[in-house]
Amino acid sequence: MSFNHHGVWAIYTFEMARAKRTLWQSLVAPVITTSLYFVVFGAAMGGRLSDVEGVPYGAFLVPGLIMLSLFTQSVSNASFGIYFPKFSGTIYEILSAPISPLEAVIAYVGAAATKSVILGLVILATGACFVPITILHPVWMIGFLLLTAISFSLLGFILGIWARSFEELQFVPLLIITPLTFLGGVFYSLDMLSPLWRTVTLFNPVVYLISGFRWSFYGMADVSLWWSVAISLGFLAVCTAILWWIFKTGYRLKA
- Per-residue pLDDT at 154: 95
Hey, what long-range contacts does 82-90 have (CB within 8 A, 24 or more apart)?
A: 82/108, 82/157, 82/160, 82/161, 83/160, 83/161, 83/163, 83/169, 86/160, 86/161, 86/252, 86/253
Give 93-135 pLDDT, tens digit per residue. Answer: 787 778 888 898 999 999 999 999 999 998 999 888 888 899 9
- Residue-wise pLDDT for 27-56, tens only, equals 788 888 877 877 777 666 656 666 888 888
Supply the DSSP string of 60-126, one letter for each residue. HHHHHHHHHHHHHHHHHHHHHHHHHHHHHTTHHHHHHSS--HHHHHHHHHHHHHHHHHHHHHHHHHH
* Whether residue 255 has pLDDT greater than 60: no
Helices 138-162 and 205-218, interaxial angle, to 10°?
150
Those residues whose C-beta lies under 8 Å from the C-beta of residue 214, and which sit 6 or more positions away, are 60, 63, 64, 185, 220, 221
| Greatest mean pLDDT among 44-48, 157-161, 167-171 | 157-161
**What percent of the chain is predicted at pLDDT more than 90?**
42
- pTM for this structure? 0.91
